[in-house]
């Protein structure tokens, strides 16, 4: 089976073979001769198990990161929801807490799954696992959704590196949101067109997001971007499931994303030399970071 490099090719492969995205992705990997479908699914299950464990551990911990800047926001949010549920409902409530739990585990050097990066590690797990729990989605269907998400990330990576230093945070949290929206739409029974459109809507509406980490750490604003972009993924899925389409096709959105990354100032691509990283408060934190660090 030929490699699929574009969303258009993916759509046609699914249509011609009457298969879902995860099935086409599995067929290609198996055709390479290195792994069987069983082995690929087993690896996906290991990633899924690691995601679940990161959430469980993160929900229980209030340990601060070495900088002291982050680590207890998930606990605060859980306590808030003990008193009053989210205006967005129980699923969104779970998604936000799970995203924070995972992202904070990353700061504690806990085991996480980079999907597609460590800085965006809370988005896909939060959306996938929270929805699966609330709607009794089987492990098999969760693995199918995770493989679908992986295929979306792979196609974007065919055009550009998924790194803040290359394309800003649109290439990290933005792509994670697109992957999460695809996984969610898959679990909700969306068709191939809806799944691709969900990821397209998520990407298109986050173009230009900068990577401007305060003190050069993956904390401010990175941690809180995870729950924000997780909910962004849900919005994209909601629109796609209603057959609301992106007027700009997926491959053209990825082209625009690549161009936006190239046009973005190096000061806003993980260098911590512009944006939030050079606000007065951020500069003050940078000067005094030695007094915050805990070993």
Express each pLDDT in 200-251 by its tens digit: 999 999 999 999 999 999 999 999 999 999 999 999 999 999 999 999 999 9
Beta bridge partners of 251: none
Domain count, the chain: 1
Mean pLDDT for 4-30 is 97
17: its two tokens:
């073979």
| Domain-embedded: residue 142 | yes
- CA-wise closest residue to 223 among 126, 151, 91: 126
Q: What is the pLDDT of residue 288?
A: 84
Q: Give the separation between CA 119 and CA 176, rounded to whole angstroms.
A: 10
Express each pLDDT in 130-177 by its tens digit: 999 999 999 999 999 999 999 999 999 999 999 999 999 999 999 999
Question: Is the pTM value of this prediction over 0.75?
Answer: yes
277 or 289: which leads in pLDDT: 277
Q: Give the separation between CA 273 and CA 289, rounded to whole angstroms.
A: 16
| Domain-embedded: residue 94 | yes
Burial class (CB in 10 A: 0-12, 13-18, 19+), 165: middle
| Domain-embedded: residue 74 | yes
| Domain-embedded: residue 295 | no
- Estimate to the nearest angstrom the gap between the alpha carbon of 183 and the chain centroid: 10
Q: What is the pLDDT of residue 38?
A: 97
Express each pLDDT in 104-120 by its tens digit: 999 999 999 999 999 99
Mean pLDDT for 29-39 is 95
| Domain-embedded: residue 236 | yes
Position 290 pLDDT exceeds 70: no
**Residue 97: how many other CB atoms lie within 10 Å:** 25
Mean pLDDT for 70-91 is 95
Residue pair 211/161 in contact (Cβ under 8 Å)? The answer is no
| pLDDT band (50, 70, 90) for residue 2 | confident
The percent of residues above 90 in pLDDT, for the chain, comes to 96
**Residue 127: how many other CB atoms lie within 10 Å:** 34
Residue pair 57/231 in contact (Cβ under 8 Å)? The answer is no
Express each pLDDT in 22-33 by its tens digit: 999 999 999 999
| Domain-embedded: residue 206 | yes
Q: What is the pLDDT of residue 293?
A: 56
CATH at 60: 1.10.4100
| Domain-embedded: residue 293 | no
Q: DSSP code of 82?
A: H
- Backbone dihedral angles phi then psi of residue 211, each to the nearest 5 degrees: -115, 100
- Backbone dihedral angles phi then psi of residue 242, each to the nearest 5 degrees: -95, 10
Q: What is the pLDDT of residue 289?
A: 80
For 272, residues 6+ apart whose C-beta sits below 8 A from its C-beta are: 212, 213, 214, 215, 216, 278
| Domain-embedded: residue 294 | no
CA distances from 259 to 153, 156, 263 (A): 18, 13, 6
Owning domain of residue 98 = 7-288
Peptide bond between residue 105 and the one before it cis (omega within 30 degrees of 0): no
Q: Give the separation between CA 251 and CA 125, rounded to whole angstroms.
A: 25
What is the total residue count of the chain? 295
């Amino acid at each position: 089976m030929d490699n699929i490099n574009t969303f258009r090719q993916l759509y046609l492969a699914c249509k011609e073979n009457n298969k879902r995205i995860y099935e086409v992705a599995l067929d290609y990997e198996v055709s390479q001769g290195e792994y069987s479908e069983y082995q690929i699914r087993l690896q996906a299950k290991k990633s899924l198990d690691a995601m679940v464990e990161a959430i469980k551990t993160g929900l229980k911990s209030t340990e601060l990161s070495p900088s002291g800047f982050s680590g207890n926001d998930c606990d605060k949010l859980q306590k808030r929801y003990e008193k009053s549920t989210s205006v967005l409902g129980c699923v969104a409530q779970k998604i936000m807490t799970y995203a924070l739990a995972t992202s904070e585990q990353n700061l504690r050097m806990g085991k996480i799954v980079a999907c597609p990066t460590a800085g965006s590690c809370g988005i896909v797990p939060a959306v996938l696992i929270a929805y699966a729990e609330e709607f009794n989605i089987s492990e098999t269907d969760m693995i199918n959704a995770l493989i679908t998400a992986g295929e979306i990330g792979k196609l974007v990576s065919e055009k550009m590196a998924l790194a803040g230093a290359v394309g800003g945070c649109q290439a990290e949290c933005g792509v994670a949101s697109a992957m999460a929206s695809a996984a969610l739409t898959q679990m909700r029974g969306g068709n191939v067109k809806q799944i691709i459109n969900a990821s397209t809507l998520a990407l298109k509406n986050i173009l230009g997001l900068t990577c401007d980490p305060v003190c050069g750490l993956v904390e401010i604003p990175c941690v809180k971007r995870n729950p924000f972009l997780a909910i962004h993924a849900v919005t994209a899925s909601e629109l796609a499931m209603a057959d609301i389409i992106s007027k700009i096709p997926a491959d053209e959105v990825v082209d625009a994303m690549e161009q936006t990354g190239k046009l973005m100032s190096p000061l806003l691509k993980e260098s911590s030399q512009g944006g939030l990283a050079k606000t007065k408060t951020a500069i003050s934190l940078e000067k005094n970071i030695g007094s915050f660090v805990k070993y």
